[in-house]
Homo-oligomer: A and B are copies of this chain.
Amino acid sequence: MNELILTTYDWVPETPRGYVRDLRARWALEEANLAYKVVSTPFKDRGASHYEHHPFGQIPWLTDGDLTIFESGAILLHIGERSDSLLPTDPHQRSQVIQWVFAALNSVEMPSVPWSIYQFMNDQEETPGRQGLNQFLEARLQHMDNVLDAREWLTEDFSIADILMSDVLRLVDRFDGLSDYAACRSYVARAVARPCFNKAYNDQLAHFAAAD
Contact = CB atoms under 8 A, between A and B. Distances in A.
How many of these chains are in the complex?
Answer: 2
Interface residues of A, number: 50
Contacts of A130: 123, 127, 129-130
A78 B95 CA distance: 8
Contacts of A74: 95, 98-99, 101-102
A72 B127 contact: no
A71 interface: yes
Interface stretch (A4-12, A104-112, A185-193): A104-112
A117 interface: yes
A34 interface: no
Given A102-B71, A105-B105, A129 B140 contact: no
Interface in A57-102: 57-58, 66-67, 69-74, 77-78, 91-92, 95, 98-99, 101-102
